[in-house]
């Protein structure tokens, strides 16, 4: 029996780098320094690839990733602000509290807003200390899970294959997946934005049984929590390329209906201009999602999409 359990654990862990030097050495200096004078351009110095801009047909989607933030009291205040906010009706709105507070949020938040987890295990629960299973998340009322976030990739050490397996299992159990992809600063500077994003996207495509319950979140790592945000044109360029990749490698139908949202220092001041871009179908919001009124402003940026249309 012990041998069988060990074999199962070995299979589940395939694709997860162990040991993880980045995690062992992690400190506040682990993130790359950002030059305030850096010219932010996603386009490589060589001529960029031709892409087909193909606007999605899915409903606008805004997710709030609360990350490892909050206490019972501060989350109660945030939930109260969200409950009293006036949100545009034609937007899917999701928030992802820390695991410890999912039950509290689920029991007090308006049903208008759905609950997401920030991570889930690659298979059924069991002897996996510290992990959270999809079954447990569903038991608490979660409808979504965020997978492949850069902080899981580059700090914890999860690789493309492992993330793809996690997504496949979550989907097989009826949980929606917010599939995160995005390039590091050095990738962008080397003109590898498309290459990195396509590789990460392919790992999802190779593993998932269907795209019916997947939202793609493009989050350039150099823009997450840094205050630096891709310009609307830069974000649109990558989103259009991602949609074109789906068209060529999955199907035109999937390319059209799959929502591709943007994340990376999105706030109440820049969301309206970003939302006007035809291939930006919403946002995954970090720090600004911890402020109820500002998060509502981002949700309501869908009105800019209507004007742009």
Catalytic (active-site) positions: 149, 219
DSSP code of residue 12:
H
CA dihedral 295, 238, 40, 225 (to 10 degrees): 30
CA 91 – CA 74 distance, rounded (Å): 25
Distances in whole angstroms, Cα of residue 67 to Cα of each of 105, 117, 167, 287, 296: 14, 10, 19, 9, 18
CA 154 – CA 224 distance, rounded (Å): 13
Closest CA to 268 of 288, 247, 290: 288
Backbone angles phi, psi at 60, to 5 degrees: -55, 140
Burial code of 30-40, b = ≥16 C-beta within 10 A, e = fewer?
A: ebeeeeeeeee
Label residue 192 exposed, middle or buried (CB < 10 Å: 0-12, 13-18, 19+): middle
- SS (HEC) of 186-225: HHHHCCCHHHHHHHHHHHHHHHCCCCCCEEEEECCHHHCC
Q: What residues are paired with 285 via a beta bridge?
A: 64
């Amino acid at each position: 029996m012990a041998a069988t359990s060990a074999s199962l654990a070995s299979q589940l862990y395939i694709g997860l780098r162990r040991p993880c030097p980045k995690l062992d050495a992690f400190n506040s200096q682990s993130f790359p320094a950002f030059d305030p004078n850096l010219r932010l351009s996603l386009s490589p110095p060589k001529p960029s690839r031709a892409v087909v801009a193909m606007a999605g047909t899915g409903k606008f989607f805004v997710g709030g990733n609360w990350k490892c933030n909050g206490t019972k009291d501060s989350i109660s205040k945030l939930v109260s602000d969200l409950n009293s906010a006036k949100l545009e009706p034609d937007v899917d709105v999701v928030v992802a509290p820390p695991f410890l507070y999912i039950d509290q949020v689920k029991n007090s938040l308006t049903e208008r807003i759905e609950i997401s987890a920030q991570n889930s295990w690659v298979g059924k629960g069991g002897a996996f200390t510290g992990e959270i299973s999809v079954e447990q998340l569903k038991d608490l009322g979660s409808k979504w899970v965020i997978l492949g976030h850069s902080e899981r990739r580059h700090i914890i050490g999860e690789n493309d294959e492992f993330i793809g397996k996690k997504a496949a299992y979550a989907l097989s159990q009826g949980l929606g997946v917010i599939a995160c992809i995005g390039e590091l600063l050095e990738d962008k500077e080397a003109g590898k934005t498309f290459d990195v994003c396509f590789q990460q996207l392919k790992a999802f495509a190779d593993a998932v049984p269907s795209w019916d319950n997947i939202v793609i979140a493009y989050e350039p790592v150099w823009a997450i929590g840094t205050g630096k945000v891709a310009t609307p044109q830069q974000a649109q360029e990558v989103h259009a390329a991602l949609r074109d990749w789906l068209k060529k490698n999955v199907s035109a139908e999937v390319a059209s209906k799959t929502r591709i949202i943007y994340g990376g220092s999105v706030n109440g001041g820049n969301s309206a201009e970003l939302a006007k871009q035809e291939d930006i179908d919403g946002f995954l919001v970090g720090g600004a999602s911890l402020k109820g009124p500002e998060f509502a402003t981002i949700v309501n940026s869908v009105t800019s999409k209507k004007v742009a249309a």
